[in-house]
């Protein structure tokens, strides 16, 4: 399999069903942090459920409807990036990310997401890439901003999670905007 260097001992690799045990340990290390604003991984609570979650993503990737990658830092899985709501016929998709606390603040998601968006726009022909984040998820909103996404609006109290309704911000970047901005990304 391939690995894309992200610098500083980090790399981006496909996250496969055979990573289930490592994935579960990763989620256990960061479950509260990761789950503060998103339900990602909340159903993966044992080895079997972790394997099932990864298998579902692998099948969606094989069908051409998703990309699912882990971020490894010094050989340890610490987070990842993915596409979801992937609509190749209309050229639209959503991207998402997660990270455990020990890896936060290093720019790993920003660097990994650049590769994922390049793939979505250049290889899969996506015209519109969306980023959805709870307004309180400042780290996620900041990544969208750093990547050059435009804030389109706020869906007020649209996302119930952990007994609270969260405002959901919708950000986007269009393929032509991404291509124009990409040279600036590469220089940083």
User: pLDDT confidence of 185, banded at 50, 70, 90?
Assistant: low
How many domains does the structure of the chain reveal?
A: 1
- Taking residues 148-154, what's their average pLDDT? 97
Whole-prediction pTM: 0.91
Residue 50 has pLDDT above 90, yes or no: yes
CATH of the domain at 53: 3.40.630.30
183 contact partners, CB below 8 Å, separation of at least 6: none
Domain interval for residue 13: 4-187
pLDDT, tens only, 117-150: 999 999 999 999 999 999 999 999 999 999 999 9
Nearest one of 169, 175, 89, 170 to 128, comparing CA atoms: 175
Q: What distances in angstroms separate CA 65 from CA 29, 140, 183, one per listed residue?
A: 29, 23, 27
- Taking residues 68-95, what's their average pLDDT? 95
User: pLDDT confidence of 188, banded at 50, 70, 90?
Assistant: very low
pLDDT, tens only, 98-109: 999 999 999 999
User: pLDDT confidence of 35, banded at 50, 70, 90?
Assistant: confident
Nearest one of 79, 84, 39 to 57, comparing CA atoms: 84
Residue 184 has pLDDT above 70, yes or no: no
């Amino acid at each position: 399999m391939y690995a894309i260097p992200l610098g500083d001992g980090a790399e981006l690799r496909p996250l496969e069903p055979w990573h289930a045990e490592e994935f579960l340990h990763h989620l256990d290390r960061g479950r509260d942090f990761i789950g503060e604003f998103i339900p990602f991984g909340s159903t993966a609570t044992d080895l079997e459920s972790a394997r099932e979650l990864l298998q579902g993503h692998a099948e969606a990737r094989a069908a051409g409807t998703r990309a699912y990658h882990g971020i490894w830092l010094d050989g340890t899985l610490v987070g990842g990036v993915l596409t979801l709501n992937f609509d190749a016929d209309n050229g639209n998709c959503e991207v998402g990310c997660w990270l455990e606390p020990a890896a936060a603040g290093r720019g790993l998601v920003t660097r990994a997401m650049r590769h994922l968006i390049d793939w979505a726009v250049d290889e899969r022909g996506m015209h519109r890439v969306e980023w959805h984040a709870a307004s309180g998820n400042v780290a996620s909103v900041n990544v969208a901003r750093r990547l050059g996404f435009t804030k389109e609006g706020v869906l007020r109290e649209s996302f119930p999670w952990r007994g609270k309704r969260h405002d959901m911000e919708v950000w986007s970047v269009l393929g032509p905007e991404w291509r124009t901005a990409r040279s600036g990304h590469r220089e940083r």
